[in-house]
C-alpha cells in the first residue's frame, strides 16, 4: 500500500515546487558531512523546526536506508507499530520501505507489531521526509517506519538492540533517526534548562539516563522513548561520540518567549 501525505499543507508546503523551495532555505551547504550511526531530528512545522532539521541532515553522509523511530501522537494502534512494506509519498518524492530491514526487525523483536494503520495520520516521521527527499535526488533512499505509543526502558532496550541486530545483518549503510521535539509550551528559559539536561544524556550516550531524567524532571520531550531506543541501538552499533548540531526554540520564529517548543539536532557516530 502507499501512504499518502497526512500533514502536507499544515506542517510543510503542499506542492513539489513550494516544498523544495521551503526545504532549500534550511540546508547548510557548508556543513561538514560525517558518517553517522544515528541522529536526533525534530518534527514540528518546518517554519519552526526546519532550521534545526535542515542543519542535522546537512551534516551527515546519506545511507541507503533510514530507520525512522518516532512518537505516536494520535494514539492509534498498538504500543510499537512497524509499517513493514509499501511506500510513503510526499509532494517531493515517494519512498520505498526497506523490506529486508523491516522483516528482520519484525522477526527478531517480539514486542513490535506489524501495523500500517497507526502510521496513517501520524506526523512525527512524515516531517523527516522532505529533508531526506532533498538529499536523495540521485539515490533512492529507503525507509523503515516505527512509531511508539508507550514503552518501558527495558522495552526500549529490546527494540533498540533488535534494530541494531537487523542493521548488522543487512550490512548496507543505515542511519537510525529518533524523531523528537524537546520541551513543550513552557517559558524559553525553562525549556533551555530542562532540554540541556536531556541533551546531555543523549550526548553522553546514556539511554537509561535519558529515560530517567525526562521522567524525573517532567521534561515534556515527546520523543524521549524513541530517542532512548535509538541510543540502545547506536551503542550496540558502536557509537562512541555525539555532537549537538543545533538547538533552538519556537520563540526565535514566533517571538513568544512564554510558551515555546524546543528543537535539537544531534549526530551520533
Domains in the chain, CATH or no CATH each: 2-268 (3.40.830.10)
Report how far residue 163's alpha carbon sits from residue 82's, in angstroms, rounded to the nearest whole number.
12
What is the biggest distance separating any 2 CA atoms in the chain, rounded to whole angstroms? 48
Residues found in the chain:
269
Between β-strands 174-179 and 65-71, what pairing exists: parallel, antiparallel or unpaired?
Answer: parallel
The confidence score (pLDDT) of residue 138 equals: 66
Q: CB of 33 within 8 A of CB of 142?
A: no
* Mean pLDDT computed over 45-54: 98
The confidence score (pLDDT) of residue 137 equals: 76
Give the CA angle between residues 3, 8, 12 to the nearest 5°. 135
* Kind plus residue range of the DSSP H or E element containing 40: strand 38-41
Look at residues 165, 67, 54, 79 and name the one whose alpha carbon lies nearest to residue 125: 67
pLDDT value at 240 more than 90: yes
**Confidence band for 211, pLDDT divided at 50, 70 and 90:** very high
Segment 55-106, tens digit of pLDDT: 999 999 999 999 999 999 999 999 999 999 999 999 999 999 999 999 999 9
C-beta contacts of 168-171 below 8 A and 24+ residues apart: 168/237, 169/104, 170/65, 170/100, 170/101, 170/104
**Confidence band for 268, pLDDT divided at 50, 70 and 90:** very high
Amino acid at each position: 500500500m502507499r501512504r499518502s501525505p497526512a500533514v502536507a499543507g499544515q506542517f510543510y508546503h503542499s506542492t513539489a515546487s513550494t516544498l523544495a523551495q521551503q526545504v532549500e532555505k534550511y540546508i547548510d551547504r557548508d556543513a561538514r558531512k560525517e558518517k553517522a550511526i544515528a541522529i536526533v531530528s525534530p518534527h514540528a512545522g518546518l517554519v519552526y523546526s526546519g532550521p534545526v532539521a535542515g542543519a542535522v541532515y546537512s551534516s551527515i553522509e546519506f545511507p541507503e536506508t533510514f530507520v525512522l523511530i518516532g512518537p505516536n501522537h494520535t494514539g492509534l494502534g498498538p504500543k510499537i507499530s512497524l509499517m513493514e512494506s509499501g511506500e510513503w509519498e510526499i509532494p517531493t518524492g515517494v519512498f520505498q520501505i526497506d523490506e529486508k530491514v523491516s522483516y528482520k526487525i519484525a522477526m527478531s523483536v517480539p514486542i513490535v507489531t506489524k501495523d500500517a494503520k497507526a502510521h496513517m495520520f501520524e506526523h512525527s516521521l512524515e516531517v523527516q521526509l522532505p529533508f531526506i527527499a532533498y538529499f536523495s535526488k540521485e539515490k533512492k533512499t529507503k525507509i523503515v517506519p516505527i512509531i511508539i505509543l508507550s514503552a518501558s526502558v527495558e522495552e526500549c532496550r529490546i527494540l533498540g538492540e533488535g534494530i541494531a541486530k537487523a542493521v548488522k545483518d543487512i550490512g548496507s549503510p543505515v542511519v537510525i533517526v529518533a524523531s523528537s521535539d524537546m520541551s513543550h509550551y513552557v517559558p524559553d528559559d525553562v525549556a533551555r534548562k530542562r532540554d540541556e539536561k536531556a541533551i546531555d544524556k543523549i550526548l553522553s550516550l546514556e539511554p537509561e539516563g535519558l529515560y530517567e531524567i525526562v521522567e524525573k524532571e517532567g521534561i515534556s520531550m515527546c520523543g524521549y522513548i524513541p530517542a532512548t531506543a535509538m541510543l540502545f541501538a547506536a551503542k550496540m552499533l558502536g557509537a562512541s561520540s555525539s555532537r549537538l548540531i543545533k538547538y533552538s526554540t519556537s520563540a526565535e520564529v514566533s517571538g513568544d518567549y512564554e510558551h515555546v517548543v524546543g528543537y535539537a539536532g544531534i549526530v551520533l557516530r
